[in-house]
Chain A
Amino acid sequence: MSFCVNFPLFLIVLSLLFSVISSVLHKKAARVLSLVLSGLSAAANFVLFLYVMKSGENVTYLMGHFPHPWGNELRIGLLEALFSAAFSLILFLTLLGGKAPLLTRVEERKGQFYYCMCDLIQASLLSLVYTNDLFTGYVFIEICTIASCGILMIRENGKTILASVRYMIFSLIGSGLFLLGVILLYDITGHLLMPNLKESVREIAACGSYRLPLLASMSLIIIGLSVKSGLCPFHLWMADTYGAAIPTSSGILSGLISKGYIFLLIKIIFDVFGTEVFYASGVHNVLYALGALGIIAGSVAAMRENNILRMSAYSSAAQIGYIYMGLGLSPVLGMEASLFHILVHAFTKPPLFLAAGLLSDSMGGAKKFRNLQGAGYVNPAAGAAFSFEAFSMIGLPLTMGFISKYLFGIAAFESTHHKMIPTLLVLAVSTVLNTLYFARTILRIYNREISPNHGEKVTVRSEKLYLLSALAFVLLNLFFGTAAKPFIDILAEGIAHF
C-alpha cells in the first residue's frame, strides 16, 4: 500500500490545526496559510486520484488500525479523491480571487477569523467526502454548519445577522433530522460503518422485517441533507443568505458546502442503503419531483428578482434541483449526470458570485439592475467573467454546463417512460428561463449608457489575483467542457466501484 493513502487523514488534521493557528495570526499570514492548505490539499488529492485510478480499487483506511465493526474508517475511492481535489481547487481559486470583497466588508481586526473558518470548511468538506462512518459524517456536518455560519456573519450588519440566524435554524433542523435517521438506522442494524450497514440493510430488506423503520430512517436522512443543501421547498433561505453574504462567502456556501452535503447523500445512497433498496423504496420519485419543481421555482424566482446577488442565489436553487432530479432519474446515467452537475455548479457559481460582487462594487455598491447599467465597462474583467460563467449556467456548447444538460438529456431518454417527457420538458423550460434572466443581466451590464453612480474605471493591473483566478476558472470550464469524454468515463467507473 502506498504512502499516499495517508493523505486524507493528514490533510484533515492539518486543516484543523491550521484553523487553530490562524485565529492568532495576522490576517495576511492567515490568508497565506489558507491558500497553502487548499492548494496542498488539491495537489495531494489529485495524486491520490491518480494512484486510485492506477490501482483500480478502493482503499479503506483504518484509523488506529481497528478493523470493522469497531474502528473508524475513511474510504478512498475514485470519486472521493476526484471530488476532494476539485473542491479544494475551487476553494483555493475562490480565496485567491476573493480578496477584494473581503477588504471592504470585514473589519480589520477580524480578517484572520475568516480564514480560520475557511480552514474548518476545508477540513469538514474532506471529511464529508472521505468518511465511511455515519456518525463522523454527522459531527462534520455540524462543524461545517458552524464554519459556514461564521463566514456568513463576519460581515456585521442587520441583514447578514438575520440571514445567519435563519440559515442556522434551517441547518439545525436539517442536522437534527439527519441525526434522528442515523439513530433509527443504528437501532435496527447495530452498525455505524457504511460497509456493515449496507450488509445489514440488505438482509433486513430481503427478509422484509423492519420495513417501516428502514423507510423512516432513509427519509429522515434524505430530508435532513436536502434541507441543508436547499432542495425546493427548503430553498427559501438561500436568497437571503447568499444575497446578504460577502460574495466570496456566497460562492463558497453555494458552490462547495451544499455540494459536500449532496456528495455525502450520494455516498449514503450507494454505500448504506444500496441502489437496489433505494430505488425500490420510491423515495427517489419524491426527490425527482422536488428536484424538477425546484428547477422551475428557482428559475421563476430568479426571473422576478432585480438584485444581482439574489438572482444568482435563486439560480443556485435551480441548479440544486437539477442534481436532485438526476438522483431520482436513474441509478447509473442519472447519477452520472448529477455528479457531473455537482462539478459544473461548483466550478461555475463561485466565480459568478465573485464577478457579481465586483461589478456591484465598481458601481458604488449598487445591486439593483437599474444601477448596474454599464458595469461591464467600468470593470471589464469582472464583466467578462460574469458573462462567461452565465453562458456556462445557460449551457452553451464548449462550456461544462452544456455537457451536463446533454447528460441529463441522455439519462432522460434511457429512463422509464413517464419520466422521459417531464425531464425533457423541464430541461427545455429551464434553459429558456436561464437564458432570459442571464441575458437580461448581461445586456444591462453592457449597456452604453453607464448609470451615474459608477466608481472609477477598474484597470486590469489593479486586480491581478482576481484576474488569475477568473482565468483559471474559465480555462478549467472550457477544458472540462471540451474534453469531457474521458472525464465522464471516470465518473462512470467511479459509480461502478462505489
Chain B
Amino acid sequence: MLSILWNNRIQVVAVVLFAVGLTTLLLHKNLLKKIIGLNIMDTASYLFLTSLGFIEGRLSPIVSGGNTDPALYVNPLPAGLVLTGIVVSVSVTAVILALSMRLYRRYRTLNLDEIYRMVHREQEEED
C-alpha cells in the first residue's frame, strides 16, 4: 500500500492539493481565500497533467544533435496543454478579482455572508 503511494507520490500530492483547493473554495467565507482555493485547485490539476507527461530518462522535446528518434524525447503535448490551462486560469482569476474589487468598493468587506446580508437589505428597501 505504502509503496503504491510512494510510487505515485506526485499524483497523491496533486489529489491532496485538489482537495485542499476545493474545500477552501467551498468552505471559506472570505472571497479572496475562495479565489486562492480556486487557484490551488487549478494548479493541482496542472501538476497531475505535467507528472503524467514526464517519462524518467527522456529528454525534453527539443531536437538536438540531429537526433530525431521520438523514443528519446518526452511527449510535448501535456506541457502544451498545461500552458494553455495556465493562460485560462490566469484570465479567469483576473475576472473574478475584478469582481471582488467592485464588491469591496461597494460594501467595504470581502466576507460573502455580510455582503449577502447587505444586498438582501438593499433589496428589501427597494421593494
Instruction: Establish whether residues B38 and A172, one from each chain, have CB atoms under 8 Å apart when the complex forms.
Output: yes
Minimal beta-carbon separation of A425 from chain B (angstroms): 34
Q: B115 contacts A162, CB within 8 Å?
A: yes
A180 touches B18 (CB 8 A): yes
The smallest beta-carbon distance between A184 and chain B, in angstroms, is 9
How many residue pairs at the A-B interface have CB separations less than 8 Å? Answer: 77
In the complex the two chains form, is B102's CB within 8 Å of A176's CB? no
Is B10 at the interface (CB under 8 A from chain A)? no
Mark each residue of chain A from 170 to 183: 1 if its CB lies under 8 Å from any CB of chain B, else 0. Answer: 00110010011001
Contact residues in A for B25 (Cβ distance below 8 Å) = 169, 173
Complex contacts, B52 vs chain A, CB 8 Å: 183, 186-187
B12 at the interface (CB under 8 A from A): no
Q: Which of A151-159, A256-264, A392-400 contacts B (4 or more CB under 8 A)?
A: A151-159
B93 to A, closest residue via Cβ: A172
Q: Which chain A positions have C-beta within 8 A of B99?
A: 149, 153, 161, 164-165, 168
**Whole-angstrom distance from the CB of B23 to the nearest CB of chain A?**
12
A14 interfacial by beta-carbon distance below 8 Å: no
Q: How many residues of B contact A (CB 8 A)?
A: 36
Q: A161's contact among B38, B78, B106, by CB below 8 Å, is which?
A: B106
- The A interface is mostly helix, strand or loop, or mixed, namely helix
Q: How far is the CB of A354 from chain B (nearest CB, A)?
A: 22
Contact A158 B106 (CB under 8 A): yes
Inter-chain CA distance A142–B85, complex, in Å, is: 10
B88 at the A interface (CB under 8 A): yes
State the CA gap A89–B108 with chains docked (Å): 43
B118 interface hit (Cβ, 8 Å): yes
Top 7 nearest A-B pairs by Cβ distance? A142-B88, A158-B119, A183-B49, A168-B96, A187-B52, A161-B102, A162-B119
- Known A-B contacts: A153-B102, A161-B99. Give 13 more (CB < 8 A): A142-B92, A158-B107, A158-B115, A158-B119, A158-B122, A162-B116, A165-B99, A169-B25, A173-B22, A179-B45, A180-B45, A186-B49, A186-B78
The 25 listed contacts between A and B (C-beta, < 8 Å) are: A139-B84, A139-B88, A142-B88, A146-B95, A149-B99, A153-B99, A153-B102, A156-B102, A159-B119, A162-B115, A162-B119, A164-B99, A165-B31, A165-B96, A165-B100, A165-B103, A165-B112, A169-B38, A169-B96, A173-B25, A176-B41, A176-B42, A180-B45, A183-B45, A186-B78
